[in-house]
Structure 1
């Protein structure tokens, strides 16, 4: 009984209750078909996996360190030593730091984005060194995804379609001059 009451309410209150029940014309069927195809295609695109890029680069350190950008952003109060080089005989360890900055890589070459994020990583190491009262960061090595790569000549950078990143790890120390 309740369903017949609900049906009579819907049929009397619905704006299309008294509309013609004539078959839908060809034009309307075509629009319905096109709409269904468009929605289906959009669903397929939305469910497809994204094509993320993660290109690994090993780039030279020296051109970055010799650049004007490095001298402007880093200054001279904290020294940087890459790889296993031991610059002084007397080293006072203060701690260690790991940094992992990212940068926008959109509309930049991988090399340009990597240079910029490498300088950002060095700047973060420099800030950590200052916090610890250190005047140098030694044993600097790449540490992307916690996989160490130590070199005195190259650093590791990963570049994608949107983001580039560098992960560095180093020891924060006070270097004492040789006597």
Structure 2
């Protein structure tokens, strides 16, 4: 039976604890994956009964009557046991709820040009979204422009 082992020695004044810390930090970042996933299952489920419409990317929408500023929320959730896609879908759903609540609070009836992002990877698409997922969490940022589309 083959045994794997790791021997640590001080290297030019760097102690073994520092080497272990460096290796641990380096390996921790490697486990995060940036995923591009289909938007349809989440946007369809979250739009039922919604009083604030969401228009992703360059998706067509009625004429804007009034602009009310930008909205942006980040969500990080514990990863679920049913896989990375389900975790990302849950994170997106939570972020969209926050975006809608903020828009409602500011008197908007829609959020247009909605984009999703994980760190520097951004998606402005009507069909896909970007999410980061690790063995322990899923994370996403959602941003867009609060607007009034219908004259009140």
- Where 2:67 maps in the other structure, the secondary structure is strand
Count residues in correspondence. 133
Q: Which moved more, 1:56-65 or 1:137-146?
A: 137-146
Cα distance in 2 for partners of 1:90, 1:66 equals 23
Q: Which residue of 2 aligns with 1:121?
A: 95
Of 66, 72, 86, the residue aligned with 1:92 is 66
Of the two, which has the highest radius of gyration?
1
TM-score normalised by structure 2 residue count: 0.76
Higher strand share: 2
Q: Which residue of 1 aligns with 2:130?
A: 156
Q: Deviations over 1:93-117 (max 9, x none)?
A: 1111111111101534100100000
Q: Which residue of 2 aligns with 1:78?
A: 52
Highest relative contact order (Cα 8 Å, sep 6+), 1 or 2?
2
Moved over 6 A (4+): none
Of 17, 24, 27, the residue aligned with 1:49 is 24
Q: Which residue of 2 aligns with 1:34?
A: none
Judged with a 3 Å threshold, the aligned counterparts in structure 2 of structure 1 residues 44 and 93 are, in CA distance, closer, same or farther, namely: closer
Of 133, 141, 144, the residue aligned with 2:115 is 141
Higher helix share: 1
Q: Which moved more, 1:117-126 or 1:49-58?
A: 49-58
TM-score normalised by structure 1 residue count: 0.66
- Where 2:51 maps in the other structure, the secondary structure is coil
Q: Which residue of 1 aligns with 2:10?
A: none
Q: Deviations over 1:115-163 (max 9, x none)?
A: 0000011011011101210011110011332553211100100001111
Is residue 2:43 matched to residue 1:65?
yes
Give unpaired runs (5+ residues) of structure 1: 1-41
